[in-house]
Amino acid sequence: MTDRDVYLKLAAVAEELMALSETADTLVGEAALRTAASTIAGTAKAVYEHALGGEGGH
């Protein structure tokens, strides 16, 4: 799996979690899903900046 693949997968998971947050039954569930989505999106951004932003990678 290349760094680009990792980025794409993380971005997709973040999008899915954000979409799921809109269907949560409680505010706690919504907040948990949004927090997880934000964390994963941040990780995807870091991979993007490193691998696709010109600093190398596979």
- Structural domain boundaries in the chain: 3-52
pLDDT of residue 54: 61
For residues 31 and 40, give the distance between their C-alpha atoms in angstroms, rounded to a whole number. Answer: 14
Q: Pull the structure tokens for residue 19.
A: 């979409």
pTM of the model: 0.84
Tell me which residue of 35, 36, 57, 34 sits closest to 46, measured CA to CA: 57
pLDDT reading at 55 higher than 60: no
pLDDT reading at 1 higher than 90: yes
Which residue did the predictor score with more confidence, 56 or 35?
35
pLDDT (mean) for 2-7: 94
For residues 1 and 30, give the distance between their C-alpha atoms in angstroms, rounded to a whole number. Answer: 31
pLDDT reading at 53 higher than 80: no
pLDDT (mean) for 30-51: 96
